[in-house]
Amino acid sequence: MSIALHLPAHAAYASVARSMAATIAARCELTYDRVEDARLAIDEAFNQVITNASVNAEVVCTFIEEIGAIEFMVQSRTDLEELLPTNTFSWTVLSALADEVHNTNVDGILSVIARVQESTNAAA
């Protein structure tokens, strides 16, 4: 199942995305530390996307839930012409929090996609 959240591209709305991520991660039966990782990961992704969002753009956060994993995509219209750099502190943080993470920039839409899952030896 996927759930979408449309928000203004402003840091003040990151808390809405964080709460939604935590709620969905809990539904996915992730352990406490992975729920917190998902919360921090979307915060980081949200901030990276809004930093590069076009003026008056909105951010769309899409969540996909499954047992043992949450996947999310944070998207916004951007004036950036290339991909987000991955040799930054922010990307390192995101990479440490998520099991898979990448970004795309297609037709002026910047997307950060990440997946946080339960490790195989830490099932609830």
Partner 1 sequence: MSTEQRDQLITEHVGLVYHVARRYQSHHEYEDLVQAGYEGLIYAASHYDGSTGFAFSTYAVTSIRGSIQHYLRDKSSTVRIPAKLQELCSQVSVAIDELSQRHGKAPTIPAIAQHLGILEDQVLQAMDANVARSTVSTDSEDSPVIGMQSTNTALEDFEDGEAIRQALSTLPETDQTVVKLRFFANKTQTEIAEDLEISQMQVSRILTRALRELRPLLGDT
**Residues of this chain that bind partner 1 (CB under 8 A):** 18-19, 22-23, 26, 29-37, 39-40, 43-44, 47, 51, 85, 87-90, 92-93, 96, 122, 124
| Residue 105 beta carbon to partner 1: minimum distance, rounded to whole angstroms | 15
Crossing angle for the helix pair 32-51 and 89-97, to the nearest 10 degrees: 150
Question: How many Å apart are CA 42 and CA 46, to the nearest integer?
Answer: 6
Comparing CB distances to partner 1, the nearer of 85 and 108 is: 85
Comparing CB distances to partner 1, the nearer of 11 and 109 is: 11
Comparing CB distances to partner 1, the nearer of 43 and 71 is: 43
Alpha-carbon distances of 36 from 23, 33, 102, 116, rounded to whole Å: 10, 5, 20, 10
| Residue 69 beta carbon to partner 1: minimum distance, rounded to whole angstroms | 13
CB 45 within 8 Å of CB 21: no
Comparing CB distances to partner 1, the nearer of 62 and 95 is: 95
| Residue 87 beta carbon to partner 1: minimum distance, rounded to whole angstroms | 6
| Residue 79 beta carbon to partner 1: minimum distance, rounded to whole angstroms | 15
